[in-house]
């Protein structure tokens, strides 16, 4: 798994796995296959089981209907182009990784605003974060960051 950050997901299974890893509940837990399948059933009115979701995520099945992909995109709040267009998919995957990293560091509001940035904007923000992290590390401020278990939200 060590090179996962640098390579954009290309298969449907990789793209779905990225969504499961990065897009989380407010308490930072991953969604279950059953939760996603239920939402897709409700959105499409079609059959969509947790087993089918697992098969798509693991690559055992790779032929979902367009409606299923639209429902998955809606659930995970990404454009449906994430699944169809390799260039857009790569850009969205990069944004997702940034969002996941920001959320994991406890700065969710910044991450949510980054969704609407261009890939260049995301790169700029990423560079700025790197600079700030180096400065804080050099100043001994790295230990200040909190990673609360769940609901503790603090504005500063």
Render pLDDT for 73-87 as a digit per residue (tens, 0 to 9). Answer: 999 999 999 998 888
Split at pLDDT 50, 70, 90, the class of 99 is confident
Plot region of 68 (φ>0 → left; ψ -120 to 50 → alpha; else → beta): alpha
| CATH number given to 11-83 | 1.10.260.40
pLDDT reading at 139 higher than 90: no
Q: What is the mean pLDDT of residues 111-117?
A: 77
pLDDT reading at 109 higher than 70: no
Give dist(CA 107, CA 115) in Å, integer.
13
pLDDT reading at 107 higher than 70: no
SS3 content of the chain, % helix, strand, coil (to 5): 60, 0, 35
What pLDDT score was predicted for residue 143? 47
pLDDT reading at 140 higher than 80: no
pLDDT reading at 88 higher than 90: no
CA dist list (Å): 89 to 41, 51, 118, 121, 156: 24, 25, 13, 16, 34
Give dist(CA 46, CA 60) in Å, integer.
20
What pLDDT score was predicted for residue 72? 97
Kindly state the tokens that stand for 35. Answer: 């939760």
Q: Which residues contact 129 (CB under 8 A, 6 or more apart)?
A: 102
Render pLDDT for 22-66 as a digit per residue (tens, 0 to 9). Answer: 888 877 789 999 999 999 999 999 999 999 999 999 999 999 999
Kindly state the tokens that stand for 103. Answer: 């959320």
Between residues 1 and 72, the one the model is more confident about: 72
């Amino acid at each position: 798994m060590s090179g996962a950050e640098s390579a954009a997901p290309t298969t449907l299974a990789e793209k779905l796995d990225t969504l499961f890893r990065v897009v989380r509940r407010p308490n930072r837990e991953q969604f279950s296959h059953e939760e996603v399948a239920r939402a897709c059933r409700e959105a499409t009115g079609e059959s969509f089981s947790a087993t089918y979701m697992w098969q798509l995520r693991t690559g055992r099945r790779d032929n979902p209907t367009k409606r299923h992909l639209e429902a998955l995109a809606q659930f995970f709040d990404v454009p449906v182009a994430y699944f169809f267009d390799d260039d857009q998919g790569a850009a969205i995957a990069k944004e997702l990784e940034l969002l996941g990293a920001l959320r994991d560091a406890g700065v969710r509001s910044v991450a949510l605003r980054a969704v609407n940035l261009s890939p260049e904007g995301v790169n700029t923000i990423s560079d700025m974060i790197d600079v700030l992290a180096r400065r804080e590390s050099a100043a001994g401020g790295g230990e200040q960051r909190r990673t609360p278990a769940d609901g503790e939200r603090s504005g500063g």
